[in-house]
Amino acid sequence: MDGTIFATATASGRAGVAIVRVSGANALDAVRLMTGIENPRPRQAIFTEIRALDGTPIDNALVLYFPCPHSFTGEDVVEFQTHGGRAIAAAMLENLSKIKGFRPAGRGEFTRRAVENGKMDLTAAEGLADLVDAETEQQRKQALRQMGGALAKKYEDWHDRLKHLLAWMEAYIDFPEEEIPDSVSDDARGKITGLIDEIQAHLDDGRRGEKLRDGFQIAIIGAPNAGKSSLMNRLAQRDVAIVSSTAGTTRDIIEVRLDVNGYPVVVADTAGLRNTNEEIEAEGVRRAKARAVEADLVLWLTDATGVKNPAETRGIDAGKIVSVMNKADKTDAKDDGNIWISAKTGQGVDALIEKIAGFVDERMGLREEPSLTRLRHREALLECVADLRSALNAPEQELMTEDLRMAMRSLGKITGQVQVEELLDLIFKDFCIGK
């Protein structure tokens, strides 16, 4: 943690208030040099004049001081709450940069310092990042749970149980003369098996948490002129795709992000599925089929006034296909198990959205048990399971002990108990400046 860092903690631009945050051993120098106040009271807002280092006024503002370790970063922290003009923020940053030992903060550096000072673990830091990025209500709830330690508690429990097992195994190996039961190794295998089952159940959650972070993927699939682009525009409530009677108008995949009952949903309009010798259209058809295979839900659209959709559903999980009959305004809707709509008039679209919402909630809805939210968690847990399986099959107790140690290390990567510099760089690179 090199030097004292500073950054704006609010978005740039015109606003009522702008917050400039300073963290580090010399944070109070900013208060002394820019306000003349020598000993500000902790956690008490002070209204004062902020001056440049040459004495010229910058603004009248609030100053707050949070002494270490009772601050967000665990260091001395100072916040200047100024008026939100660009010029004021620029003047603040320019003058802070001139103070000896001060430097601009990097992405996520405030939160990184909080982690390194033991104010939070890595899962909580990632939850904080998700909370800042949350666009829907369900994303907010999941991020808040993770920030509050829901994932950390689960992983720390597994880590502690492994640590206890490891202690017993090492004692059995190192102190054979002591009265340690010979059944320690067998008992350990039983507990290892139980841990494997718990971790595997956590892994087999249908990527619920990851989908909630990244968005539930829906693909609209069908023959040319089935009304896919019209349905896309209807769902988005704006014109995002070109609608034309000319077959093959949609060549590439067009995406739009929606909020469906608090869940983030990404809807993709795709090229019409048909046999074609035209190179670009053929590539569009290939991409449409690939998107249908990868999607979490497929809306299979058929023109109810024309021939049945000749397109293949082969390779697509039938459990994620919802059959939708379009142009119900031009024909009589039937009670045949399909959803009948008119993308043009909006008839039946509310029922379709309700169907989508139910499907999304079933696969992404928050459960009592916290869900995995990141690929790195999944990879670390898979490593842990592999190490535990190796421990089960170890021919000697010394090898079992080493496998248990490796399993603990894999779990520690998630929470930060094992800190690898490259890992920290990867986690905090996408944070915003000032957080």
pLDDT for residue 427: 61
Q: What is the pLDDT of residue 41?
A: 95
Q: Has residue 74 got a pLDDT over 60? A: yes
Residue 276 is classified by DSSP as -
The answer to whether 284 touches 251, Cβ cutoff 8 Å, is: yes
Give the pair of three-digit tokens for residue 330. 């031009």
Model confidence over 175-213: pLDDT tens digits? 555 554 555 566 888 889 999 999 999 999 888 899 898
Check: CB of residue 21 under 8 Å from CB of residue 7: yes
CA gap 134, 151 in Å, rounded: 18
245 burial type by CB count under 10 A (0-12 exposed, 13-18 middle, 19+ buried): exposed
Task: Give the integer Cα–Cα distance in Å for 7 and 18.
Answer: 11
Check residue 153 and report its DSSP letter: H
Q: How far lies 234's CA from each of 56, 79, 239, 352, 361, in Å?
A: 57, 46, 8, 11, 21
pLDDT digits (tens, 9 = 90+) for 347-397: 888 999 999 999 888 888 778 888 889 999 999 999 999 999 998 888 877
What φ, ψ does residue 165 adopt, rounded to 5°? -60, -45
Does residue 101 carry a pLDDT above 80? yes
Count the Cβ atoms, other than its own, within 10 Å of residue 185.
17
Indicate the pLDDT class of residue 171, thresholds 50, 70 and 90: low
Position 245 confidence tier, pLDDT thresholds 50, 70, 90:
very low
> CA-to-CA distance for 333 and 265, rounded, in angstroms?
28
Q: What is the DSSP letter of 37?
A: -
Q: Which residues of 307-336 are buried (b: 16+ CB within 10 A; e: fewer)?
A: eebebebeebeeebbbbbbbbbbeeebeee
Q: What is the DSSP letter of 49?
A: E
Cα separation, 386 vs 419, in Å, equals 21
Token digits of residue 116:
């390194």
The full set of domains in the chain, from first to last, is 4-105 (3.30.1360.120), 123-205+372-428 (1.20.120.430), 212-364 (3.40.50.300)
Would you state the pLDDT for residue 244?
A: 45
300-359 tens-digit pLDDT: 988 888 755 445 566 788 888 888 888 888 887 677 778 898 888 888 889 999 999 998
Spell out a b/e string for 136-167, using b for 16 or more CB atoms within 10 Å of the CB, else e.
Answer: bebbeebbebbbebbbbebbbebbebbeebbe
Q: Judge contact between 127 and 146, C-beta under 8 A.
A: yes
Residue among 121, 49, 40 nearest 78 (CA): 40
- Please provide the average confidence, as pLDDT, over all residues in the chain: 85
Q: Cα separation of 360 and 138, whole Å? A: 11
Q: Is the dihedral of CA 154, 159, 165, 168 positive or negative?
A: negative
Q: Let me know: does 147 contact 162? Beta carbons within 8 Å.
A: no
Here the tokens at position 167 are 């202690």
Higher confidence at residue 331 or residue 279?
A: 331
Beta strands in 163-277 (DSSP E): 216-222, 254-260, 263-269
